[in-house]
Structure 1
Amino acid sequence: MSAIDVRALSSVPVEPWRNGGGVTQTLATHGTEWRVSVAQVERDGPYSRFDSIARVSFLLRGKGVTLRHRASVIRLAPLTAVEYDGGTEWDATLVDGPVTALNIMTAAGRYRTTVNPIVVATIVPPGCAAIVIALDSACRYSEPDIGTDGSIQPGQFMIVISVDRPLRVEPAHHGAAPPLIVTIEPVPARTPDSNF
């Protein structure tokens, strides 16, 4: 059985940014390998730099953020997962006000991150980490081969650091904004004989 932890989002401490531009709640970490958090970005300013880190941002609320570094421009749009280099000194400009962003940071080149709404039943394979965030609507989870099941209610999130057996997640009902599932999958190391 996978170690499944369901918690209330309100139970997670709020940490102010060092530059005063917002606050963060850290939902899950796995040593120095990866980190999943929810950030409230309240004003324009620099993004923190994290060398050798791949970042994925998914805007939960708000109209958008534009990241700039010299000639490079990254646009973070609502409900879209965007990957970018955490080691770059990005300067952020908010689009029409504050945003709430789901942020995933992983050791560069070592993980593949996906963020998807849970609108149909989804199976997470063994070997991945899975984080489910239910802001506005509930979902169910189960490990069908052993009969484990439960639910994640609005305002809760679930952490599975390592999925041991196939994990099924599905919406409990339709109508409100669906829950989100983040999967973090290790990328196989390249071998010297690899052609890729």
Structure 2
Amino acid sequence: MKKLLGALATACALGASQLAGAAVVNFDSPALIDIDNASGRAVYREAGFALSGEAAGFLTIDGLGSAMTGALVLLDGSTVSLMANDGGLFSFAGLAAGSLDTQGSAALRITGIFGDNSELSTLLALSQLGPLTAPMWTGLTELRFMADGDLVIDDIRLDAGEVPEPAPVALLLLGIGVLVGVRRTAPAGKAGLAA
């Protein structure tokens, strides 16, 4: 019984490791910006991702954002690009965003570039800072954020690593089914020997 439960726990742990990798870029460490003065480009790194663009177009500010600990300010007309540090594929699950001017409005265009070089884009109208419903995109190599008006971005929810394919999940479920079947037949075999 202990061996069966141990094998089942191992199978579940291996399957769950395929699903791990969720990350949130929350801009809580504004000192992480590297600026190349020669090119005018800036890079902010957090949670396994790099956000880059023109240094004059974006900055992280402490005491701003959904948790008031840090956020990204993206100035009107600026574009920043987000990629995984390892260059791999990732998923985008949403973010918090709003107009920097609480009395005004702004818009954020999000463009996803996928592993097959296809692109999808969405335009979000912004008012006060808050969580936004954004499309769930998987298999991305890059995300681009373009500001129409001065805006604030926070809590970009990502999944570092590819979304598991159905085959490994099916194999995990098949393995669990076999283990349960072995466990159910074991007591019947022992009862037959006692007779």
Normalised by the length of structure 2, the TM-score is 0.37
User: Relative to total residues, which structure has the larger strand share, 1 or 2?
Assistant: 1
User: Relative to total residues, which structure has the larger helix share, 1 or 2?
Assistant: 2
Normalised by the length of structure 1, the TM-score is 0.37
